[in-house]
Structure 1
Amino acid sequence: MLCCLNPDCPNPLNPDGINYCQSCGTLLVPLLRGHYRVTNVLSDEGGFGKTYLAEDVDKLNERCVVKQLAPKVQGTWAIKKAIESFQQEAQRLQELGKHQQIPTLLAYFEEEHYLYLVQEFIDGQNLSRELQQRGTYGEIAIRKLLLNLLPVLQFIHEYGVIHRDIKPQNIMRRSPFSQPKFQKKKNLSSVLGTIEGELVLIDFGASKQLTETVKTKPGTTIGTRGYSPLEQMQDGEAHPASDLFSLGATCFHLMTGVSPAILWTENGYSWTIAWRQYLRSPISNGLGKVIDKLLKKEIRERYQSANEVLQDLSSHLSVPPPSSRASLLRRSLLIGTSILFLGLGGIWYMKDSPLLNPLAESPSSPLKTLNGHSNLVTAVAVSGTSKSVILASSSFDTTVKLWNLVTKTEIATLESYAGSVHSVAISPDGQIVASGNGDNTIKLWNPFTKKEIRTLYGHSSSVEVVTISPDSQILASGSFDGTIKLWELATGKEIATLKEHTSSVKSLAFTFDGETLASGSEDYTIKLWNLKSQQVIRSLTGHSEPVRSVAISPISPNLEFGGILASSSADDTIKLWNLSTGEEIYTFKGHRYSVNSLAFTSDGKILASGSSDNTIKLWDIKTKREIRTYKSLSKEVTSVVFSPDNKTLIGGSADGSVNIWQVKL
């Protein structure tokens, strides 16, 4: 095929062997500037020209990208600025394209009254398309993205250039097998890029040479709303810190699937303060603090250089002794351990990445994988007997699904019409399903009729967790607003609001007698509540990052296993506490990343933990030892629960699947 270069042509593709475009009649150009054969349209630049795919016939038909400038804007100043911007992009690529994560400039010329820029073709896709295909990114992926891109930003800023339009569409990931072999690897971050597909920063059309500041003409802005910071949108100023805000907004979009442009249109920059409420997968406090500082509205409070961000990221990693680095590198290439060179002369060792390194254990394959959700599974819950067990799963796709755990088939889909569903619970008597929702509501459902019973209103922010008392009388809900509400399940009447936490409440658990409630929060604490007095009995501290889950062991005839509270955290640990005294009993360490969910067997002897390291681990409470590790098929484990007979373990995953394992204890 041959592409017509008339920017107004409605159907520019033509078969080989003809001289004039079949659609618009324009004379076709077989070879642009004598050796670029234009074969397809990649994108329309909205009144400024088009971007084409081409082949360089002088280089064995190697693919390249041809950008055409054909501005339709009105006014001499606007046309002049369009030409300046186009020339500037060529100049920036000429200066910066030596870096293997920036496209190389191949040619810049004028032909038939149009300006053309020819650059290296990046075989891959941009992160916006990747987000659509793979779903939201977890912490590991975001950390790797930052570690891959920050050295590139430091490079361009040291050259005195500010990109000014960083967003998912302007970050490409090379196909893993298209890495240029002729370029020397400057750091091991590039080696990792070869494994996963190296990230490339594209579209320098908006970039500016840095003096002390960069300003556009008053009344104009360059950048993208939502991704560009206040100083860039309001005053036309741009600094290195401006690119770092855009990088933070890009990370937010990839983690949540929510476009900052939409939030900016609705709420201005207020979303940057409460960005965590949109998260679809838990992250560590360390990464959260980095994103917080990237997204500071005031530029003086933001990171001032990419190196500063790298330093904060690396402070959460451990550095191997210099003498061991060579052997560590050799080992990493054999077993997939993630070693990150930051391009600054240092080598940082990160915990073994589950995305790259198969676990040393021999993980058991799931007995069954239930696919039906189109987004992250936020919670799973079970109720019933060995002959008839209902499994409920909630998801950010706005639904709750009910499954027959015996036959492993879907029973029904309950559509919340309340935004993302953050949590689900089934009453022990199996009569009611409750969901905590992103629109600040709780919905109650009849699992037999599949009909909504009622909606509960009261929280001022998203409901992060719901749980039901052992006697099926009380519903407890925890919210992003930091409060816990108690509800009469039969009537939906609010009983009380408990206010002691200073941040989002992420997990709740009743004691077996229903008299005490445990709550875990983003404020790093666990609180025990007397439900009669509605007062805090004690506050448990010990975790160094937000508490993700709490679980209470059932009272068993062997009291050694009774009265134990388990808590898990983004600090990668699980702690056991004496429920009566509040004394810390033991700390389990074995997961590599945030431990998101906990569940006891019905006899209280075994604890299951699900983590962002893609594993579920089983722990023996008596011996304090790890029993077994189950490897999730794809992404982070968000929630775990045992079947009533303890023979089945269920795990919800960030990829939307529910995995079922047969447990042999």
Structure 2
Amino acid sequence: MICCLNPHCTQPNHTTLAAVCPTCGNALERRLRGRYRPLKLIGRGGFGRTYFALDADRLNSRCVIKQFAPQTQGTKSFLKAVQLFEQEAVRLHELGEHPQIPTLLAYFEQNKYLYLVQQMVQGRTLHQEISAQAAYSEGSLRQLLEDLLPVLHFIHEHGVIHRDITPSNIIRRQVDQKPVLIDFGVAKQFSEAIRYEQGTRIGTEGYAPIEQLRSGQAYPSSDIYSLGATCLHLLTGCKPEDLYSPLEGRWLWQEHLQKQGRTIHPGLAAVLNSMTKDLVSERYQTAQDVLDDLRRLPKLEGAVPGWISTQSDPSDPSNQSLFAGIDRPPLSGPGNSAGLVMPVTALPDSQEVSGPVSRSSSGPVSGSSNTARPLSSIPIPPTGKPANSRPPSSGPAGSRWQLVKTLAGHQSWVTTAAFNPKQPVLVSGSLDDTLRIWNWQTGDLLHSLKGHARGVNDVAIDPRGHWVVSCGDDATIKVWHLGDATLRHTLKGHMRDVTAIALSRSGTLLASASEDGTLKLWNIAQGTLLKTLPGSAGMLKTVALASADQQLISGGLDNTVRLWDIQTATTLAVLTGHTNTVNQVAVSPDGRLIASASKDRTVRLWDLVTGTLIHTLQGHTQEVNSVAFFPDGRRVVSGSSDGTLRLWSSQTGILQATLSAHVNPVHQVAVQMGGKILASASADKTIKLWQRQS
């Protein structure tokens, strides 16, 4: 079986392995990027197609390919669509860390088309479930909410509103029966700057709340409404539009349930009614609020008594006893924002095709995503003009830094960059699976290193400038000789993606961190594994060496910074304070300070000896991906998904400068040995060089 990737082909699916498509005559691609084998078209729309495929590098595991191939080119809307497609990939990369959101496997360009590859979730959608069996019991519905509300909380904490939660966009994963939230093709990201502007009207009728359908506005409570409407469908077996009376202006789902001779606990009825209020201000404002109320309900034991209340509403004084002891935070108002992210579909034999390709008539969502902030800080919508919330402008030192060069050539996001301490050489790594070696003074590309089977996550150069070490999503570490650009060693041992590496001062000891939750120490001269440390709960994102290479510092999805004794492989300290994933750690040149960059949009500075928090650096409007010290240790630079670099005093914690030029997230920052050149690697496929002017 093979599938034609010509987006204009009318019959792309073929059972024979021909060289050209018998329908359109287009050459058939056996494998995209040498690994993804397209087998069947499963969705199409005005902006592209979706294919079922196999990943040859992962034992032919199933995956989904989305092809971006709009019908019109050269227009403003086309350029905007391209930008949004790239931003979709960035957002999916972040959200894919959750086990109930499909993982983004690759993003690349080939034959003038853009592609996203995602993990395929094997199972049935809830729409298929409700079509094939009876309505949900109360116990089944409670369990679904218990499983899905934490996922909603996760995406909202990351500043994303799904905007299309329906039974068709939730898959019951076959392997563990967990619900997986799919199809982020019309999702929006919070943006303070455009919160009160009208957006694109989008969503599925019956499940989408009135604010989405009328004005295109979407809030966290909009997703809660859609999940509530989905629950009403599953509980009654009737579509939401058949459960609401526009004449009476109220839901009739409880009457439908009574006609079926079924009952539910009045507390659960109150939760569902509060989720599906028409007025945003009367609805639950956070998924955690819903979960808290749900967990206060009595556990189901045997038959459910005949409780039915047609007016069970947590805000109704007559029902306050149902929610005694529930302490709700003040209602926070909605936030509006820009469109992004993208889809996955269920199994190819599914009768339901999900994804933006089937709803592209709505057009790309307008707006930008450069000022997202945590939900807890979103206020009640004002009656007047919203306050200006732009990031602080560059301070006096900002004018001293100028963009002097842009290095372009990578075919996908540039994830990492490092300076050679001995020569005017910079090495970059990308999700296009390559490393590139540049002369940063002239901007010339010196070498392109190919060897990783999947994206490159981190690079490091030894202090003598002889070796460059890289790690990637293929679970390997590769050691290259910088002089002749040859591969000398491939280190294997991690079970999942290797996310970060760090070299010792001598250049012989290498530390690595992985999504498998372990830290490993290697002798890079011999290419041998020396020791494995257990790591911590969850994936590890970063690692650094400290204290004359006697200590390791790690960070990851458990929101902590951990210090390890290398000799004993024991934990020395756990530094807590971050409220989200720690993306990167760095150690000051004098070994006294630790800097940690986090998804909570802060950089924290810690005393390495005492573990005391010294400063919390706040100012970025999206997650902070990278942090690095200057050679003098008196300043740090951070890079963020808001597209900026920020320079801070490590002594006072004061922001000194904000550098803006990237149009997409900054994944890595690096400081040249002299301290007068900065490099920033970005999802816009470039590395930018900044120079401090005298």
Give TM-score scaled by structure 2 length.
Answer: 0.51
* Separation (CA, whole Å) in 1 of partners of 2:669 and 2:540: 18
Report whether the alignment pairs 1:212 with 2:236.
yes
Q: 1:635 to 1:144 in 2, by over 3 A?
A: farther
Residue 148 (structure 1) shift: 6.8
SS where residue 138 of structure 1 aligns? helix
Bigger mean CA deviation after superposition, 474-483 or 620-629: 620-629
Supply the distance in 2 between the matched residues of 1:498 and 1:9 (Cα, whole angstroms): 54
Q: Tell me, in whole angstroms, the C-alpha distance in 2 between the residues paired with 1:601 and 1:583.
A: 21
Specify the alignment match of 2:506 in structure 1: 471
Paired with 1:418 and 1:442, the residues of 2 have a C-alpha distance of 11
Q: How does 1:276-295 map to 2 (within 5 A)?
A: none
1:594-613 equivalence runs, <5 A:
594-613=623-642
Cα separation, 1, equivalents of 2:477 and 2:41: 44
Match of 2:678 among 628, 633, 649: 649
2:199·2:217 contact (CA, 8 Å) conserved in 1? Answer: no
By how many angstroms is 1:495 displaced?
0.2
Which residue among 503, 508, 526 is the counterpart of 1:491? Answer: 526
Say whether 1:580 aligns with 2:609: yes
Q: 1:565 aligns with which of 570, 589, 594?
A: 594
- For residues 296-329 of structure 1, the C-alpha deviation after alignment (integer angstroms, 9 at most, x for no partner) is xxxxxxxxxxxxxxxxx9982424356xx12343
Query: Partner residue of 2:476?
Result: 441
Determine the C-alpha separation between the residues in 2 that align with 1:451 and 1:477. 21
Q: RCO (CA 8 Å, sep 6+): is it higher in 1 or 2? A: 2
- Are 1:150 and 2:184 matched, yes or no? no
Q: Give 2:509's aligned amino acid.
A: I
Deviations 1:179-218 (A, max 9, x none): 89xxxxx869987889xxxxxxxxxxxxxx9893379xxx
Match of 2:405 among 368, 372, 378: 368
Distance in 1 (CA, whole Å) between partners of 2:634 and 2:83 is: 43
2:377 corresponds to 1:318: yes
What residue number does 1:502 align with?
Answer: 537
Letter of the 1:629 counterpart: T
In 2, the alpha carbon distance for the partners of 1:539 and 1:423 equals 24
- In the alignment, what sits opposite 1:288? none
> Is the contact between residue 127 and residue 168 of structure 1 (CA under 8 Å) also seen in structure 2?
no
Unpaired segments ≥5 residues, structure 1 = 1-7, 11-44, 53-122, 158-164, 181-185, 195-208, 216-239, 242-252, 269-312, 336-351, 556-561
Spell out, residue by residue over 1:623-657, the C-alpha distance to the aligned partner (whole angstroms, 9 max, x if none).
22111111132011111110010001111111211
Q: Distance in 1 between matches of 2:500 and 2:484?
A: 24
What amino acid does structure 2 have at the position aligned with 1:403? W
> Equivalent residues in 2 for 1:296-445 (5 A)?
316-320=375-379, 325-329=382-386, 331=387, 352=389, 360-361=393-394, 366-385=403-422, 388-445=423-480
**Cα distance in 1 between the residues matched to 2:391 and 2:211:** 23
Please tell me whether the aligned partners of residues 211 and 217 of structure 2 are also in contact (alpha carbons under 8 angstroms).
no
Does the CA contact (< 8 Å) of 1:485 and 1:494 recur in 2? Answer: yes
Distance (Å, rounded) in 2 between the aligned partners of 1:593 and 1:260:
25
Do the aligned residues in 2 keep the contact of 1:512 with 1:554 (CA within 8 Å)? no
- 1 CA distance for matches of 2:669 and 2:481? 23
In structure 1, the partner of 2:224 is none
The amino acid across from 1:316 in the alignment is: L
Aligned residue in 2 for 1:112 = none
Q: Name the count of aligned residue pairs.
A: 410
Find the aligned partners of 1:576 and 1:9 in 2 and give their Cα distance. 58
Aligned-pair CA distance for 1:145: 12
Q: For each residue in 1:347-385, what CA deviation from the matched residue of structure 2 results, as whole angstroms up to 9, or x when unmatched? A: xxxxx5xxxx67644876522111111211111111223
Q: Distance in 2 between matches of 1:657 and 1:137?
A: 15
Residue 384 of structure 1: SS of its match in structure 2? coil
| Counterpart residue number, 2:651 | 622
Could you tell me whether the CA contact under 8 Å between 1:462 and 1:481 is conserved in 2? yes
1:389/1:404 contact within 8 Å kept: yes
- 1:589 aligned residue: 618
Displaced runs of 4 or more, over 3 A: 45-48, 123-135, 137-149, 151-154, 165-172, 176-180, 186-194, 259-262, 357-365
Residues 1:519 and 2:576 are matched in the alignment = no
Q: Give the deviation of 1:443 after TM superposition.
A: 1.1
- The structural deviation recorded for 1:609 is 0.9
Q: Map 1:55-204; keep pairs closer than 5 Å.
A: 136-138=89-91, 150=163, 167=183
CA positional deviation for 1:454: 1.6
Quick one: which amino acid aligns to residue 501 of structure 1? S
Whole-Å separation in 2 of the counterparts to 1:601 and 1:314: 28
Structure 2 CA distance for partners of 1:189 and 1:572, relative to 1, 3 Å: farther
Summarize the Cα distance change of 1:46–1:650 in structure 2 as closer, same or farther, 3 Å threshold. Answer: closer
Write the distance in 2 (CA, Å) between the matches of 1:512 and 1:177.
54
C-alpha contact 1:525 1:543 (8 A) present in aligned 2: yes
Describe the SS at the equivalent of 1:150.
coil
SS in 1 for 2:464: coil
1:124-161 Cα deviation digits (max 9, x unpaired): 6799977656662438998799977628979x99xxxx
Q: Alpha-carbon deviation of 1:406?
A: 2.0
The question of whether the paired residues in 2 share the 8 Å contact of 1:471 and 1:514 is answered with no
Conserved 8 A contact 1:376-1:395: yes
C-alpha separation in 1, matches of 2:42 and 2:553: 59
Q: Whole-Å Cα distance in 2 between the matches of residues 419 and 588 of structure 1?
A: 34
Structure 1 position 470, deviation (Å)? 1.1
Aligned AA for 2:375? H
Residues of 2 paired with 1:212 and 1:376: CA distance? 46
SS at match of 2:535: coil
Unaligned segments of structure 2, at least 5 residues: 1-8, 12-39, 47-75, 96-154, 171-180, 189-196, 202-209, 219-232, 240-271, 276-338, 351-371
- The alignment status of 1:539 with 2:574, answered yes or no, reads yes
- The DSSP-based 3-state class of the residue aligned with 1:627 is strand
Whole-angstrom CA distance in 2 between matches of 1:653 and 1:643: 17
The aligned runs of 1:191-270 (5 Å cut-off) are: 212-213=236-237, 260=344
Structure 1: which amino acid aligns with 2:438?
Answer: W
Residues 581 and 146 of structure 1, relative CA distance in 2, 3 Å threshold: closer
Question: Is contact 1:127–1:171 with CA below 8 Å preserved after alignment?
Answer: no
Which residue in 2 is equivalent to 1:634? 663
Please state how far the C-alpha of 1:659 moved relative to its aligned partner. Answer: 1.1
Distance 1:590 1:128, change over 3 A: closer
**Aligned 8 A contact 1:381 1:424 in 2:** yes
Deviation per residue, 1:524-546 (Å, 9 max, x gap): 11111222333222221221111
CA-atom RMSD, angstroms? Answer: 4.8
Report the 3-state secondary structure (helix = DSSP H, G, I; strand = E; otherwise coil) of the residue aligned with 1:136: helix
Offset at residue 391 of structure 1 (A): 1.0
Cα shift readout 1:587-629 (whole Å, capped 9, x = no counterpart) = 1222222111110011211111111122111111222211111
1:505, CA displacement in angstroms? 1.2
Cα distance in structure 2, aligned partners of 1:145 and 1:553: 29
Q: Secondary structure at the match of 2:383?
A: helix
CA distance in 1, matches of 2:568, 2:681: 35
Distance 1:648 1:320, change over 3 A: same
